[in-house]
A = this chain, B = another copy of it.
Amino acid sequence: MTRILIVGGVAGGASAAARARRMSEEAEIIMFDRGPYVSFANCGLPYHIGGDIELRDALLLQTPESFKQRFNVDVRVHSEVTHIDAAAKTITVKDLQTQQSYSISYDKLLLSPGAVSVRPNIPGLDNARTFGLRTIPDMDQIKTIIQQHSVQHATVVGGGYIGLEAVEALRQLNINVTLLELAPQVMTAVDPEMATPLHQTLRDHGVDLRLGTALESVSETENGLTLSLNNGDRLDTELLITAMGVKPDTSLAESAGVNIGKTGGIAVNEAMQTSVSDIYAVGDAVEHIDLVTQQPALIPLAGPANRQGRSAADNMLGGQKIYGHTQATAICRVFNLAAACTGSSEKSLLKHGVAYEKIYVHPMSHAGYFPGAKPVSLKLLFAPDTGVILGAQAVGEDGIDKRIDVLAVALRAGMTVFDLETLELCYAPPYGSAKDVVNLAGFVASNLLRGEIDICQVEDIIDPQPHQVVLDVRNPPELENVGAINGALNIPLDSLRDRLNELDRSKEYLVTCMVGLRAHVAYRLLVNSGFKAKNMTGGFKTYQMVKQQFKA
């Protein structure tokens, strides 16, 4: 009989326990968690605070009892595993309720300890009104404070997924919220210009968003806290939620002599084995291999953790299940918007020295003539030589998850932008368009790689060279209502053919419109008529997003 010990009872650990039992009725399976709960919906915590999820019990997907009943897994909560003796194949477990420790041997050991919050050494952070938001007790304490003190103002530090979700939850409770983010953008998984719509909607929903701002110290006052910020500002608040990111929890693994990768995560092979025999690891604590860059990366996401758990379970029982690469598909709801991404961001490609090309499109989420259509702002990153998809990001009110899912599959399949042209996606007016957002992105990118269009970026429009002229082909009312580009020549597309004689063949025209579609028609008209031209990819909408990025 194989004894499998599992450290950590959420996501990867719980998936592994259930899978292991399905694969073997004989194995002895014991799962330890230092907290009072296992297999809880940690992604749901902010939504229970905000009220979207009414019942607290809805977050408790399994209990120790239900795990025992259904899977014959011995779940030990309040149980901290403090040491691994890899030579003896034993672990030391401390019962946090009795403070008693005991030792237990294993045949196979799975580490699924997750990540720990990054908590910089900020003076005063250790107080009764400051919490993370990673566990059920965290959530319970935050709810209690809000109720007991009728909190009117709260501060969230960190604009990642949890921070953004916490902000939204607090606003749903009509609490005034300040969001402090050290970076010049929230949701750093996407590139800065793609985050600007999120900044706008945060402010539109009454959030006091302070980018590029760090918390320096915290002092307790009679009714709350006073925060000192790195710009010299002081801020009174009644509740402080820290969401400054996470790092792999590797302390236990290190005690066993397990190799830690250069990213700081536990190094594992594709069987989820660590460097130490019979010790496996999964989830937020391990180092993933990024699908696009093929480099080690920390990718703390629930989906990969669950699948790694399944694989590890099979392999601990003698299977040969391979976990491949992680592509880091992710999404976050921010009030009316969703922002999502898959694969590499532009900044990641730059960092890893990967050559890329980028285009932007902003088509409607479904047929424009059908009510409820909303723009999907999509950025596509791809290899300039082969057209292989490297990454995609999208933001908007509708259909964001669908487009990134489609592109996630295309990326995983190794598809190129030429393949995106031919994808056949669901079309009826309530759901899409005959030429879907993803097809359009494929058209633009393929036109570029086939040499049917030459593009420029917002930076070129902002600061054109002497031989270049910015040509805006929108109609004058659009310029008045939405905004014009400084110094741009304006000739509406539909009169361009008749006004070509106004143009100068020695110049290069940088053509733009609202989203890039009319500019494409104008571009083709110009080059087919012997002019030099480039199309600014994504038009004025991209221009606005990039400009706002610098204003943040």
A interface list, Cβ under 8 A from B: 11, 18, 21-26, 41, 43-44, 47, 52-54, 58-59, 61, 66, 69-72, 161, 165, 301-307, 323-324, 326-333, 338, 340, 342, 367, 369-371, 400-402, 404-406, 408-410, 412-415, 419, 421-432, 434-436, 439, 452, 493-494, 497, 520-521, 524-525, 528-529
Q: Which residues of B contact A413 (CB under 8 A)?
A: 409-410, 413-415, 419
In the complex, what's the smallest C-beta–C-beta distance from A532 to chain B, in angstroms? Answer: 15
Most chain B CB inside 10 Å of its own CB: which residue of A53, A301, A422: A422
Please list 24 pairs of residues, one from A and one from B, whose beta carbons are closer than 8 Å in the complex, sorted by A's number. A18-B521, A22-B520, A23-B452, A26-B528, A41-B369, A43-B429, A44-B369, A52-B371, A59-B369, A70-B493, A70-B494, A303-B424, A303-B427, A307-B435, A326-B424, A329-B426, A330-B426, A338-B430, A404-B426, A405-B405, A405-B406, A408-B424, A409-B413, A412-B424
Q: Which residues of B contact A525 (CB under 8 A)?
A: 22, 25
What CA separation (Å) do A528 and B330 show in the bound complex? 37
In the complex, what's the smallest C-beta–C-beta distance from A81 to chain B, in angstroms? Answer: 24
A428 and B41 contact, CB distance less than 8 A: no
Q: Which residues of B contact A11 (CB under 8 A)?
A: 434
Answer whether A44 and B332 are a contact pair too, CB < 8 Å, given A423-B408, A424-B304, A426-B401.
Answer: no
Number of copies: 2
A426 and B412 contact, CB distance less than 8 A: no
Q: Which residues of B contact A66 (CB under 8 A)?
A: 494
Known contacts A69-B494, A306-B434, then 13 further A-B pairs from the complex at CB < 8 Å, ordered by chain A residue: A43-B429, A61-B369, A70-B521, A303-B425, A303-B427, A307-B422, A326-B424, A332-B428, A342-B426, A401-B426, A406-B409, A408-B426, A412-B423
CB-contact partner of A421 in B307, B370, B405, B428, under 8 A = B307
In the complex, what's the smallest C-beta–C-beta distance from A399 to chain B, in angstroms? Answer: 9
- A45 to B, closest residue via Cβ: B429
In the complex, what's the smallest C-beta–C-beta distance from A177 to chain B, in angstroms? Answer: 19
7 closest Cβ pairs, A-B complex: A25-B528, A413-B413, A331-B426, A302-B434, A58-B369, A22-B524, A329-B424
- A520 to B, closest residue via Cβ: B22
In the complex, what's the smallest C-beta–C-beta distance from A142 to chain B, in angstroms? Answer: 17
Answer whether A47 and B306 are a contact pair too, CB < 8 Å, given A22-B520, A413-B413, A415-B413.
Answer: no
Most chain B CB inside 10 Å of its own CB: which residue of A301, A328, A435, A436: A435
In the complex, what's the smallest C-beta–C-beta distance from A98 to chain B, in angstroms? Answer: 29
What CA separation (Å) do A52 and B18 show in the bound complex? 47
A41 and B429 contact, CB distance less than 8 A: yes
B431 and A422 contact, CB distance less than 8 A: no
In the complex, what's the smallest C-beta–C-beta distance from A64 to chain B, in angstroms? Answer: 14
What CA separation (Å) do A22 and B527 show in the bound complex? 10
What CA separation (Å) do A419 and B291 show in the bound complex? 14
B401 and A401 contact, CB distance less than 8 A: no
- A307 to B, closest residue via Cβ: B422
CB-contact partner of A427 in B165, B301, B426, B428, under 8 A = B301
In the complex, what's the smallest C-beta–C-beta distance from A1 to chain B, in angstroms? Answer: 13
- A411 to B, closest residue via Cβ: B424
Q: Which residues of B contact A333 (CB under 8 A)?
A: 428, 430-431
